[in-house]
Amino acid sequence: MNASSPPAETATPRTPLGWLFSAHGELASSLVAGLLLVVGFVLGLVGLTELGQAAYWLSLGIGLVHGVRTAVASLAKRTFDIDVLMAVAAILAAVMGRPAEGAMLLFLFVLAGALEELAMQRTTRAVEALHKLMPTKALALDESSGEFVEVAPESLVPGRVLKILPGELVPVDAVVLDGQSSVNQASLTGESMPRTVGPGDDVYAGTVNVGDPLRVRVTRPAAESSLQRILDLVTRAQQQRQPVQRFIDRFSQPYALTVMGVSVAVLLIWWLGLGEPLPSAAYTAITLLIVMSPCAVIIATPTATLAAIARGARGGVLFKGGQAIQRLARLRAIAFDKTGTLTVGRPRVEQLHAVGWSDSAALLRAAAGLEQDSTHPIAVAIREEAARLGLDPAPVHQPGFTPGRGVSGEIAGLPARLGNEPFTSELVPVCLRERVHEVLSGVQSTGQIGVVVAHDQQAGVIVLADSPRPGAHTLVRELHAMNIRPVIMLTGDNALTAKSVAESLGLDRYRAQCLPEDKVTAIQELKAEVRRRDPRGGAGVIGDGVNDAPALAAADVSIAIGSIGSDAALESADIVLLSDDLGTVPWAVGLARRATRTIQINLSVALGVIVVMGAATLIGSRTGRPVPMWLGVLGHEGGTILVVAHSLLLMLYRSPEHVQSITQAPAGLRPATDAAVSAIEPSILNV
């Protein structure tokens, strides 16, 4: 409806005439027209009929300003749509001497159009308001003077060094050089808890430094930041159409022409064929034209779709259009990748077995020293554990690295090694070798990782494991409650590790040592299994958006979960989960199902009004009980307003406690930041 009006209020020039034709201008005009209708009705009741008629004509004139404008714009594009139908119906009602009915039609039509446009703005504002999080300045290092100066974020290039003060917004994607702080990423991930960052960690544009000062190095220009890519992605998603919406778009003009043709046919048949007086036949034809106009049908799908996309974006879920929402709503089984999806994809130290080591702290200091210069994930985990316990790495001389086996060096003049059992056995005392072997066997049987440290007639085992993501332990139970089963895991890891993870998370089944082609085969089998149970159901895959590309492509709906800085995760899947919490998976399914039900209810209401009111108009005209035009107007436009309001309820869809929106970010931010963050929450009640 109102397809010819500007797509957003911001597109209208800021002039008096421009404001008049904006969404708020239309809303104000409709309210004035409605007030005049009430005045005319009251004047008629007290006997001031002529003044009452004048009020009706004035209300009609206000409505025609907007109605005729949109109708002319449609005809200029050679489009015969609902705008034309409504303008024609109102003018014909006035010609027949019924200005009150024509005024009521245009009052409700313009009011519904204004509310529809404002609803569209509300559904996009939750995402567009993220622009307000981008600061207008940044503190960049001036290499000539060695001081930090204010510059525009748009001027920053990769490699430039910045300082981010407490409470300030990160202007571009960057990597931390110096400092330790907490960064609130709620604007991108929907998570309320800040993330601790230090040297080597990434920070992203639009996030808030809520701790100590940081020195960072720019990694992307502002135009290529994570926030900008997310906004571009959501903008493209909002422009996509669901299959049902494409059908409605394709047949809306033929339907409008059909309605006009049927109305003319009723006029002629009732007048010439059935002998009704011309005014009575015309009254019936105009009423039929009004009640059969497809306003509510046209907006039933897009308002709900855009509301769901906006609500998902606020919760850290990016739907790439209405089709993605529809496919996710039909999800009946799902397969997860393990590393980087069900687990964080980075090992951490779980235990220290000081088999023949007098002090476990000394064992960890030696291991951290040997791994001091390594970038291997195991080395990073060992150094992080030592730092967490406040242990300084032992000084290591003559460090060496043997690919696939381990690292070596000298500590206090004595050789030391860290790695697998064969590599370290030479330095492990004979009396300890059997015990080390037993510990390693026990560790490996549970799917964990064990590395041996040997030095100075001492030996120990460090146990590491890839920990599950937040929300993973309740994931299966929540999905089962939504009738999504089986929940399976596909991994290229070994069988012992896969079994350990699957059992700890309660997965229905798993496949280990899968190559990419094996995962595709498994997905095809899963799809066939789902189809046997539910012909319309679908099977989904959740992966990291990079290694699982073939499986993601084979699934009915593909979901990527990964770093907010991952280009592949943003581009390769139908849906992107930006939060590290797997609790967003069932939440996203619930939102998609709610959106689908909303669309179904919207269409049922819209079509029901057309069928019931159309039949009542025709039958009533032949049985001596004609449907009043005002009742037809009320039913038609009331259905439109009801559809818009029902769609907006999706914006109130609540997330679970562990998936909080940006509006619940921790308190204590600077006032300017608080104001920017609060702008994300759309004020639906202001519609």
pLDDT of residue 133: 55
The pLDDT score that the predictor gives to residue 21 is 65
Going by C-beta distance under 8 Å and a sequence separation of 6 or more, which residues neighbour residue 113?
1, 2, 5, 26, 66, 70
Q: Are 486 and 509 in contact (CB under 8 A)?
A: yes
Whether 590 shows a pLDDT value over 90: the answer reads yes
| Tokens read off for 175 | 């990597």
Tokens of 504: 């700890």
Higher pLDDT, 234 or 143: 143
Q: Which of 81, 337, 544, 548 is catalytic?
A: 337
Q: Mean pLDDT over residues 24-34, rounded?
A: 80
User: 341-387: per-residue pLDDT in tens?
Assistant: 888 777 889 889 888 887 889 999 999 999 988 777 788 889 999 99
The order of strands in the sheet holding 557-561 is: 317-319, 575-577, 557-561, 538-543, 331-337, 487-490, 509-511
pLDDT digits (tens, 9 = 90+) for 434-452: 999 999 888 877 767 889 9
Q: What is the pLDDT of residues 450-474, one digit of tens each?
A: 899 999 899 999 998 877 887 888 8
Q: What is the dihedral of CA 190, 196, 202, 204, to 10 degrees?
A: 40
Those residues whose C-beta lies under 8 Å from the C-beta of residue 82, and which sit 6 or more positions away, are: 1, 3, 252, 256, 293, 294, 295, 298
Q: How far apart are CA 302 and CA 249, in angstroms?
A: 11
For 235-269, the pLDDT digits (tens) are 554 455 555 545 555 656 777 788 888 888 988 99
Q: Is 337 annotated as catalytic?
A: yes
Q: Which of 33-37, 128-132, 479-483 has the highest mean pLDDT?
A: 479-483
Residues 6 or more apart from 215 whose CB is under 8 A from it? 161, 162, 163, 176, 177, 178, 179
Work out the angle between the directed axes of helices 295-314 and 243-268 (0-180°, nearest 10): 160
Residue 216 CB partners (closer than 8 Å, separation 6+):
161, 162, 163, 164, 170, 174, 175, 176, 177, 203
Secondary structure class of 381 (helix, strand, coil): helix
The answer as to CATH 3.40.50.2300 being correct for domain 346-467 is: no
User: Which range among 276-280, 363-367, 549-553 has the greatest average pLDDT?
Assistant: 363-367
pTM above 0.85, yes or no: no
Mean of per-residue pLDDT scores for the chain = 78
Q: Report the relative pairing of strands 557-561 and 538-543 from DSSP bridges.
A: parallel
DSSP 666: P
- Predicted confidence band of residue 483 (pLDDT cuts 50, 70, 90): very high
350, 389, 386, 347: which is closest to 368 by C-alpha? Answer: 386
The beta-strand segments (E) located in 210-252 are 214-218
